Amino acid sequence: MTDNPPPNMTILLPGIGSVTLNEQTCDGGGAPPCSGTTSSGIRVRAIHVIVDNPNALGVPQGADVIVGEAHADSAHP
Amino acid sequence: MNNVNPNTTIVLPALQFGVGSFVKLFEEIGSSSQPPSGQLAGGTFAADLTVNMIRVHITSLALTGDAIDVVVSHAQAHADFPQPAGCPSLAGTVSGNATIVNEQTNPSQLPVVVGFVSIPPQGGHDHQDLDQLSTSLVSGGTSVSDSAATVLSSSSNSSSFAKAQNVCVLPAAGVCTVFAGVNQFASEQRLGWRQVLIRPPGH
């Protein structure tokens, strides 16, 4: 897989759930580029695993695992 | 565990303790205030911070239905300062944070948050280096989390990043369900008068 996956690239993990790579969301909803006249913010997650199936790994169903998360926002009225 | 990140929260089972029950470690509750924008005198700059080492919050204990809130080791601080004449309040605010690992499971398994850094609304810098990662679901090598921001009279900017090497997520029989060699995902934002520039990673 490429070193730089495209934003919000989701891959199914059979028997486990899914993983989203380079997950990007704007504060208040919407997709990047996050823009606003007086305030805006963005959150980026490198790896986001959601376990929504009973699995053989022993990981509780419903587990939410995030690796590498960064958030920034500013407001300037 | 010797050190925990601020506001580490372990959710308690709803069946025994009621919905919304939790144990919180190193709870930090802070606030700050300043004169309204444009005011040049007569106001007050103030800041408050409350820290609870351990807080047990139970909404409805099984059998009795009691609601309980227990705090072990509590500290509180307040500071305020009158606004000097001609000293304007900050025109803008910022926020930023970064985390290396955040695990949410039910029941909770510690540690749930690793490498958390954050900055206050007035700006600043927070940084953390870790030699290795080791949680119940994630392992990895060195990692860095960083958040920095400034507020100026006509603009403000905020940037954060989290970086980790050789990350293994959900290991099973020596095989990683998800593996990443090097990750660096920055989140940067600059805001000025009538202008916004967002630069997602890779752009």
**Using 50, 70 and 90 to split pLDDT, how confident is the model at B19?**
very high
Residues B123-166 pLDDT 10s: 899 999 999 888 888 999 999 999 999 888 777 888 999 988 88
Q: Identify the domain containing residue A61 by its residue range.
A: 9-75
The pLDDT of residue B199 is: 38
Last residue of a domain, one of B28, B54, B89: B89
Cβ distance of A16 and B177 shorter than 8 Å: yes
Nearest CA in chain B to A52: B105
The pLDDT of residue B60 is: 92
Last residue of a domain, one of B89, B116, B140: B89
**Using 50, 70 and 90 to split pLDDT, how confident is the model at B107?**
low
Strand order across the B8-11 sheet: B8-11, B22-33, B44-58, B68-82
CB-based contacts of B65: which residues, under 8 Å, 6+ apart? none
Mean pLDDT by 10 residues, chain A (77 residues): 78 92 86 76 91 88 91 82
Q: Does one domain contain both B83 and B94?
A: no
pTM above 0.95, yes or no: no
Residue from B145, B133, B201 nearest B171 by CA: B133
Cβ distance of A69 and B180 shorter than 8 Å: no
The verdict on residue A1 lying in a domain is no
Q: Does one domain contain both B56 and B120?
A: no
The verdict on residue A4 lying in a domain is no
Cβ distance of A72 and B92 shorter than 8 Å: no
Partners of residue B91 in chain A, C-beta under 8 Å: 76-77
